[in-house]
Amino acid sequence: MTETAWHEELRAKGYRVTPQRQLVLEAVKALGHGTPEEICAKVQQTARGVNISTVYRTLELLEELGMVTHTHLNHVAPTYHLAAEADHVHLVCRGCGEVSEVRPEMADGLVKGLEEELGFVADVRHLTVFGRCRGCRVA
């Protein structure tokens, strides 16, 4: 999603394009996946006066508007990324902490099984799978 598209989407939903919103979106895009603290640090490289409370409020609004989404990759703060780039499943290695992304289709067996056995339709766009990566399994 481009900067122009962000502006159009915010305005279409009745919101102004503030410098803080623009900087938070730019930071999320640049980081790919970032905690509020990482996003705040990135924003503060440009605008020292933006504090963590502003970042949290902005992320909350942007998530309500469907522009960003979050997932939990560990037991601390959520990790945010652009909603337009959210179609993936996260793999987190418990050994080294590496985070990988795979296509949602990799979870098709799980999705199909849940629907067939439980009548549950799963949305795996927020799915995080914990395990051990190939490197840690070999070590």
- Torsion-angle region of 119 (φ positive above 0: left; ψ -120 to 50: alpha; else: beta): left
The contacts of residue 138 (CB under 8 Å, 6+ apart) are: none
Inter-helix orientation angle 36-44/52-64, to 10°: 120
Q: How confident is the prediction along the chain (139 residues), in pLDDT tens digits per residue?
A: 677 888 888 999 999 999 999 999 999 999 988 999 999 999 999 999 999 999 999 999 999 999 998 888 777 788 898 888 778 888 999 999 888 889 889 999 999 999 999 999 998 877 889 999 999 998 7
